[in-house]
Structure 1
């Protein structure tokens, strides 16, 4: 099947645009700059599908990572892709699609099969935080796995880049780092927008690559095609709206600005059509919706913004795609609709915004030229610098100057985008390498990466509601359908009223601990009490709502615990020696399926897999496995149905495994790499080695860390064809400097980071973990 037929079968379109054929048949560009409404999403996704499944192009990465700036309608992108896959049928229809939205149940769902083609969809919050080894809304111990799979053999697509803010510079820096360090497979980035300014990507490390970057645009002949001309010449009458936001009207926004806006919306709205109203803040959008609801008209009312739970957002997605009938529909939205939302309106109201954003918004009016008599756009003036947020007031002024000289917003007559991006912090190489260490600092906090992901004022953490009464809630982790994105300012407003409390999971103490408005920070997932309100199904998160929230049933019962060892607590008991052999076999199979080169590093993956659980022979671990199970205490067990806790708090068997390797393992050039892969296979012992803050000390002043005490002995154990003798564990490596064991653990791991780079080191680490997961699943089946 040639690409033209492939595309038409997937989309059911009668024809393709030439640029879509170019994308599917030629090497990937760096930038795709195509006017809104001409099928950019389909072009990118289907080009990737065709190259991977039909051409089997080795230069096209096996994971497509589709990143949207807003969360609101990520499900719409997922639904469109699923429809295309179903239309194609065959093996293509079975390519997995994963929506990364936070919540514990998605932690392993897409990571188990790195050798398969896969499509990952998410927002820049979810995807960039994972790409920075600080994934929002997920277990910290899974950070390295997601980091590895997003940076190796992955095609990143950043859609609607004009909305990305600080995340755009970060995307450029990450692409530069992937070109500096080694990666597995071909990993690259494609930036997509109708309003693209290449200089937005002119960051300190990507600048040298920007010079030769390739851009795909519409050819001049393509612009003359009837279908393109219909969109380019679509009549969109442009005029200033009656409502304006200024120093006077903002004193009582609802009674002045929003009330005047309601009057003009109802005056101009047309039956059987959409009227779209785009405001720059969630609070104003919610206020306008409340005023419209009070009018009690027959017009359908929908509110679209980023602060809804997934459950309500799915209903919204379904409603927004239906054709408006009868009295028609009014959609009130924030800038969320600028990104990948395929809706068209007869009437559009929009507040002033940077010119790139306004061009995108105009594309949501008479989108395909379907209103031959034309459509109407009303721009709403903002003449107040504080009301301009989240945008810079100078950008608002520039847009106003442009609009005063325009009467039609047809794409063919719009000036090009020449504005500069707002200045944001830039992720430097040292910052990035420091993030590879996933241990929290001594106070229990992590580096704040939010400044590299979003500008101030946009959603930066997640909340969910449960029905409980006591001050020490016993609640499971949230599923992604429960999670609602919230900005720092809104959660502080919520917690500031009536001394409300929120709760955050503490993986060390294994409970929910209370936090107040002064101790919240980006990336948190907070538990709220239903009776305290804060949410409305039609308005989303609203800090001053006192109506009790309807809870959603949690999907999973998975706790993000340091001491937890769920992978070892299984229905079917498994002998330790058998498990080591099985994981080593699965690792070799995985290596073959990925067609990894036979080298020292690949061999290290297999050796680490064979040794990874040697530390489970430790008496502390065996005591836990046998407790209340009736298992033979003369055997060594890797898995059992025991639900008991280790007698030593924070005991980590993988540390004992690593120390056994250092003492007994073959002194290969990859000796330290194997030690690291053994230690890191649960994500809890990685770059540093120290005792936990409240860990009980060992007796007689011996060194101790993570429940392992110096002098502990592991019994004899067979590892493959090698029989290990009894091994006394030494902890010299936790000290700084040289010792009888050689370099310290910190020195060894830093050397590995320099030698292999963050992407390959995490890749090797991830393959050992996946082999362990897959072997364990097979054993239980």
Structure 2
């Protein structure tokens, strides 16, 4: 690619900006990519080996946005199919954001499963944002079926992810089915909404005309050269068919220690095997277990003590010996620096990624590996790709004992001289227009599982999300769960099949293939509760669905400080409290049980008494108190009004402000003038139905000064017909199809059916609703229409939040 004077200037500007953020200059390929993006020449792929700083794609995107270089999508979605690494990349992005002036900071969300608490990115669609996500989380949202997202909120997520987005797929060899699905979505998006939408893949081995990669300048760079040219001799260890892999992995790891290696990684293909190896090593030496199947709260505590000993840049301080036993989650992005590595055989692409954690910054002249393999009929995780890789390694190996150098430059030369077998990607279905039409009808339960479009036909069931709560000791814990719903740091992702068969041997890859096991229902004599983001319901194990967030009793076991532990019957630590709340319940805080029970038994109690207990439970600034029959939830002090009723807001004021906000959102994201005007009018008219005198009786308003929200009147809902909804009454006053739809759908209904049991009078006036919805879908595309809905709904949400804040 020819470098112009303008591109040289842009590279220099990026270099200065990058150095201000990180304290050191970018690599040559990073500067070249920045110049390329500034010129509007976006590549389709980035090819760079592990350890070369691919995460800096976020820096390039953010710099280009801040400098106003061309059409740069407003949101960057960084997709990694490893849960543990989602948090690691999220930490990198958070440090980058914190280095910026407040006015320049984008939003950040980590989408790794369950009911996410990272929803700030939804607050203002004009604000740039970085989302770091697994395929399951972002893919299901994009397909109107978000795991852990309610059907009424699903169109908002789909709309924002289907417009003004740059998708970055890290290690695309793990994401081929999803890559194909993104290509299908690109073809189905339509052209009515002209906001940018791009996909950029990242891999160490990608080739193609529009691929950005390393150059001779990178190979000559003093830092990169040591990383690229360092030797990583991998000894091939072939096991007898009757040999136990766990024992062999332990033996090889101890041999590495005897040879003088300090921090030794042991990588297994399955979680159960990793745990067995960990327990064997931990019995005699210090060891840590890292898998993706761990609660974020446990992970944070684990890495706080472990990461300083194993991360890049910590060698100078000295490192005590440690075994790091891990699963596939170590392959992508994990910023670890090992002295030696023992690994099960895996596909060559996976082995190369694992080797990337070894001597990561080239501080050692040579770092040893051992690859352990036992010939089996069928590997339960990778299938025949493991044997294919072993045969290729055996063919190119040299010396006695046989070894293969996994150093980056040496391995690239080996692959050029003797190309390895191609690794087949899972077959996946085409995403057709008819599929999208069905998925976008979020008001109709269709039962379609989106996993094949995310992981392919060969992959097994995606995950459910588990949390353990002491409140389940109550006969009916539903009220306690509604007041303190599950949050991200306490959720553990496990495959649905593993939940059904508690002691299943599972891999650590999203949607991993597994054999079909009979369901073990004996463990489920205790209640199991589902939280869907809005409601709590008791379910049986046979009623559990993919993506469910489920609450269990800590007494059933299944989790320890290292994560998923299906053989453990020890009581699980309840992580349901946090910085923003505590749950005052005798089982949650047994040290305060007497005081809690005394307050529950007292004829009268004050909020200050509960707040005093909350302080003793660790909440720094207790605020609102939410009581239930068995205890209470105390929230941290916030700017929200602490009383239980809505503050009165005049209907005219609310409608006008929402109209102005929707207009500002639409103009700010770059929609054309006609759509800006429609959204303004939709905001002004979205609550016109609330002018009905019967509604005013409900909220405590009157005809002369109608309210949009209020503390409530004396008549309740008895004054309104059964099934009456204000958005339907508001929509009935509109004539233009798009305007009417936006008004009627602003609470998530009407896709394509209006709520059941409607007011007959309103139903008659809106009887063509499904047909008009279909017409609008064809006109704007499924993601375009959802995006327009999202702009109005987010305008309404943000205004309503501001109206209820204390002065």
* TM-score after normalising by structure 1: 0.81
Query: Do the aligned residues in 1 keep the contact of 2:689 with 2:730 (CA within 8 Å)?
Result: yes
1:493-508 to 2 correspondence within 5 Å?
493-494=501-502, 496-500=521-525, 501-505=527-531
In structure 2, what is the equivalent of residue 304 of structure 1? Answer: 290
Contact 1:242–1:264 (8 Å) recurs in 2: no
Of stretches 405-414 and 267-276 in structure 1, the one that deviates more from structure 2 is 267-276
Return the alpha-carbon distance in structure 2 between the equivalents of residues 289 and 624 of structure 1.
61
Show CA shifts across 1:634-669 (max 9, x none).
6432112349974577653212222x22xxx3x4xx
Is the alpha carbon distance of 1:573 and 1:272 closer, same or farther for their aligned partners in structure 2, counting shifts above 3 Å? farther
Q: Does 1:399 align with 2:413?
A: no
Shift of 1:272: 7.3
> Aligned-pair distance for 1:756?
0.9
Aligned mates of 1:220, 1:513 — CA distance in 2: 61
Structure 1 residues 584, 90: closer, same or farther in 2, change over 3 A? closer
- Please tell me whether residue 515 in structure 1 is matched to residue 540 in structure 2: yes
2:192 matches 1:142: no
**1:235–1:366 contact (8 Å) kept in structure 2:** no
Hey, what does 1:53 align to over in structure 2? 66
Question: Does residue 1:345 correspond to 2:341, yes or no?
Answer: no
* 1:125 has 2:118 as partner: no
Alignment CA distance shift 1:537-1:497 (3 Å): farther
Alpha-carbon separation, structure 2, partners of 1:519 and 1:302: 36
- Give the aligned partner of residue 16 of structure 1: 26
Q: Do structure 1's residue 580 and structure 2's residue 655 form an aligned pair? A: yes
Contact 2:337/2:360 (<8 A) preserved: yes
Q: Which residue of 1 aligns with 2:455?
A: 454
2:277 corresponding residue in structure 1: 288
Structure 1 residue 326, shift from structure 2 partner: 5.2
Shift of residue 147, structure 1, vs aligned partner: 1.3
Q: Indicate the SS of the match to 2:473.
A: coil
Question: Pairwise mapping of residues 434-445 of structure 1 onto structure 2 (< 5 A)?
Answer: 434-441=438-445
Matches within 5 A, 1:295-374: 295=284, 297=285, 299=286, 301-324=287-310, 325=318, 327-372=320-365, 374=366
Residue from 671, 677, 686 that aligns with 1:612: 686
Provide the C-alpha distance between the structure 1 equivalents of 2:247 and 2:722, rounded to a whole number of angstroms. Answer: 61
| Alignment deviations for residues 605-662 of structure 1 (CA, whole Å, 9 cap, x no partner) | 1121111112223466444323xxxx6586432112349974577653212222x22x
SS of structure 2 residue aligned to 1:549: coil
1:684 offset after TM fit, Å? 2.6
- Kindly tell me: are residues 551 and 184 of structure 1, through their superposed partners in 2, closer, same or farther at Cα, counting changes over 3 Å? farther
Answer whether contact 2:115 2:488 (CA < 8 A) is retained: yes
Rate the CA distance shift 1:87–1:574 in 2: closer, same or farther, 3 A. Answer: closer
Q: Which residue number in structure 2 is paired with residue 549 of structure 1?
A: 572
Task: For residue 108 of structure 1, report the CA deviation from its aligned partner.
Answer: 4.3
- 2 CA distance for matches of 1:652 and 1:271? 72
Whether the aligned pair in 2 keeps the contact of 1:115 and 1:593 (CA below 8 Å) is: yes
Are 1:479 and 1:554, in contact at CA under 8 Å, matched by a contact in 2?
A: no
Q: 1:397 to 1:141 in 2, by over 3 A?
A: same
Measure the CA separation in 1 of the matches of 2:556 and 2:476: 16
Counterpart selection for 1:157 from 158, 168, 189: 168
How far did 1:587 drift?
2.0
Aligned-residue offset at 1:160: 1.3
Displacement of 1:23 in angstroms is 1.0
Structure-1 residue corresponding to 2:788: 764
Question: Which residue matches 1:264?
Answer: 252
- Deviation per CA, 1:572-629: give whole Å up to 9, x if none: 1112233222211222233333343212x33221121111112223466444323xxx
Does 2:749 correspond to 1:684?
Answer: yes
Question: Which is worse superposed, 25-34 or 617-626?
Answer: 617-626
The equivalent residue for 1:390 is 381
Q: Distance in 1 between matches of 2:782 and 2:664?
A: 24
Flag the 1:524–1:338 CA change in 2: closer, same or farther, 3 A. Answer: same
Equivalent residue number for residue 727 of structure 2:
654
Count residues with an aligned counterpart: 681
Deviations 1:458-497 (A, max 9, x none): 7522111112125643112211112111112211113634
Cα gap change, 1:428/1:275 in structure 2, threshold over 3 Å: closer, same or farther?
farther
Kindly indicate whether the alpha-carbon contact (under 8 Å) linking 1:580 and 1:612 is maintained by their aligned counterparts in 2: yes
Question: 2:4 aligns to what?
Answer: none
189-198 or 493-502, larger mean C-alpha shift: 493-502
- Check 1:279–1:625 CA distance in 2 against 1; reply closer, same or farther (3 A cut): same
Which residue of structure 1 aligns with residue 797 of structure 2? 773
Instruction: Determine the C-alpha separation between the residues in 2 that align with 1:227 and 1:319.
Output: 28
Deviations 1:744-771 (A, max 9, x none): 2111100100011122211211111121
Q: Distance in 2 between matches of 1:108 and 1:646?
A: 32
Distance 1:466 1:617 in 2: 44
The equivalent of 2:764 in structure 1 is 731
| Shift of residue 377, structure 1, vs aligned partner | 0.9
When residues 506 and 310 of structure 1 are mapped into structure 2, their CA distance, relative to the original with a 3 A threshold, is closer
Q: Deviations over 1:361-389 (max 9, x none)?
A: 111112222111x1111111142234x12
CA–CA distance in structure 2, aligned partners of residues 544 and 656 of structure 1:
56
Matches within 5 A, 1:35-46: 35-42=49-56, 44-46=57-59
Tell me the secondary structure at the aligned position of residue 309 of structure 2. coil
Measured in 1, the distance between the counterparts of 2:431 and 2:252 equals 45
Does the C-alpha gap of structure 1 residues 134 and 400 become closer, same or farther in structure 2, counting only changes over 3 Å? same
Alpha-carbon spacing, 1:553–1:222, altered in 2? closer, same or farther (3 Å): closer
Matches within 5 A, 1:422-501: 422-441=426-445, 446-454=447-455, 456-457=459-460, 459-467=462-470, 468-470=472-474, 472-474=476-478, 475-476=481-482, 477-494=485-502, 496-500=521-525, 501=527
Per-residue Cα deviation, 1:544-596 (whole angstroms, up to 9, x for no partner): 3211111122568999xxxxxx9x98531112233222211222233333343
Q: Which runs of 5+ in 2 are unaligned?
A: 1-11, 311-317, 398-402, 503-519, 582-623, 627-640
Q: CA RMSD in A?
A: 2.9
| Deviation per residue, 1:233-276 (Å, 9 max, x gap) | 211111123656x4x34xxxxxx331232232122126673211
Residue 110 (structure 1) aligns with: 121
Q: C-alpha separation between the residues in 2 aligned to 1:585 and 1:732?
A: 28
* 1:82 paired residue number: 94
Equivalent of 1:187 in 190, 197, 200: 197
Give yes or no for contact 2:78–2:168 (8 Å, CA) kept in 1: yes
State the match for 1:715 in structure 2: none
Worse-superposed segment, 588-597 or 767-776: 588-597
Hey, what's the Cα distance between the residues in 1 that align with 2:782 and 2:653? 32
Change (3 A) 1:536 1:620: farther
Tell me how far apart the structure 1 counterparts of residues 320 and 559 of structure 2 sit (CA, whole Å): 28
The answer to whether 1:419 aligns with 2:493 is no
2:85 to 73, 95, 98: 73
What is the alpha-carbon distance in structure 2 between the residues aligned to residue 764 and residue 74 of structure 1?
A: 29
8 Å contact from structure 1 (residues 271, 326) kept in 2 = no
Tell me the distance in 1 between the aligned counterparts of 2:467 and 2:540. 14
Which whole-Å deviations, capped at 9, do the CAs of 1:486-530 have from their partners, x for residues lacking one?
Answer: 11221111363433452224789x4412121x3323211112122
Label 1:583 to 1:345 Cα distance change in 2 as closer, same or farther (>3 A): same
- Secondary structure of the residue aligned to 2:443 is coil
Q: 1:339 to 1:183 in 2, by over 3 A?
A: farther
1: CA distance, partners of 2:489 / 2:497: 23
TM-score normalised by the chain length of structure 2: 0.79
| Structure 2: distance between partners of 1:399 and 1:274 | 26
Residues 326 and 218 of structure 1: CA distance in aligned 2, closer, same or farther (over 3 Å): closer
Native 8 Å contact 1:107 1:138 kept in 2: no
1:526 corresponds, among 550, 556, 570, to 550
User: Residue 641 of structure 1: which of 711, 715, 720 is its match?
Assistant: 711
Deviates more, 1:342-351 or 1:588-597: 588-597
